[in-house]
Structure 1
C-alpha cells in the first residue's frame, strides 16, 4: 500500500496546487491539498484539519532534514495545543531551520487574517493583496483578487440545472495556504 499512498500523495498535491489556477473546483483543491499533506506525514497520525499545520511544519524545514524536523516540530506544536498554522508572533519556534528573514517571509504566505462570511448570495471577504478568491455556486465558479481590505462579492449565478442549489462557498488561496467557508468551513471545524 505504501507505493499507492506515495503516488496518491503526489496526485493529490498536484490537485491541491490547482486551486488558485481555477483548473479544478475550489473545494476539490482544498480537500486534495490537505489530504496530500496528511498522507505524506501519515506516520504522525494527523487527523482531519491537519493539512495546514503540516504545511507550516514542512515550510520551516529544509528538504534534506524534513524527515527528521517535521515530526519534531509537529509533535512539539501538538504538545503545546497548536493545531493550526495561525499562531501569532514573528519569532520562529524552536527547531525551525529558516533564517529569521525567511521565517517572516513564510508568515506572509499564510492565510492568517483572512475573513470570510457567507451571507445569502454574497460573501464578505478580507484577503491579503494578490490572494486568489474563488467563489462558487454549484459548479459555477468566479475568481477575484484580494486587495487587502474588506469587500463584498456576489456569488456566481446558480447552476441552471438546479442540481446543486445551495451548494455555495468561498476559498482564499495565498501562496501555498488556503482558508474556506461554506461547507469547507464546517468540514475544517470537525475534529475526530
Structure 2
C-alpha cells in the first residue's frame, strides 16, 4: 500500500489521537466544518462540506501500513481530493479530506448530541497546534453549535478522549458558554 496525505480538521488535529509522525499545520479553502449525525454512527461527529470558507487543520502523511486503521476510523466518511496550503510557507499539497456524504448526514439533535469529550479532544489539538487564536477560529468556522451537548467528562463516550488541564477545560467551557449551547 502506498502512503497518502490527509487533511484532518477535527480530532485528527490532536496528535495524541494517532501515530502519524509527519504532520503540518495547513489551511483548506472552499470547505467549512459542520456537526452532523450519520446513520452509520450513534452520535454526532464533525464533518466538512463545500462552502465559501476556510478551515485550519493538519496535513498528515499516513503510511500505507496504517491505511486500514485510518479507513476504519473514517468509515462513515467519503474521501475527497483537495489542495491544502501549508502554514509555514505558501506551498500547496494534495491531500484527501473526509466528509460524511449527504445521503447519510442529518443534523445532530437530542437523540444524537455532541459529546463534550469529543469537543475537548478537538479543542486540545487546536490549542496545541494553533494556540488560542486557532481555537477561536475553530469555534467560529464550525456550523451546528445549536445541537445539544452531552457532558460525558465523568464517563467518556468518546473512545479517544484525553485528559485536559484545568486551563484547557476552562477554554472549552468559556467558548461553549459564549455560544450558549444547549446541554442535553
TM-score by length of 2: 0.25
Relative contact order (C-alpha < 8 Å, sep 6+): which is higher?
2
Structure ranking higher in helix proportion? 1
Q: Give 1 or 2 for the bigger CA radius of gyration.
A: 1
TM-score by length of 1: 0.24
Structure ranking higher in strand proportion? 2
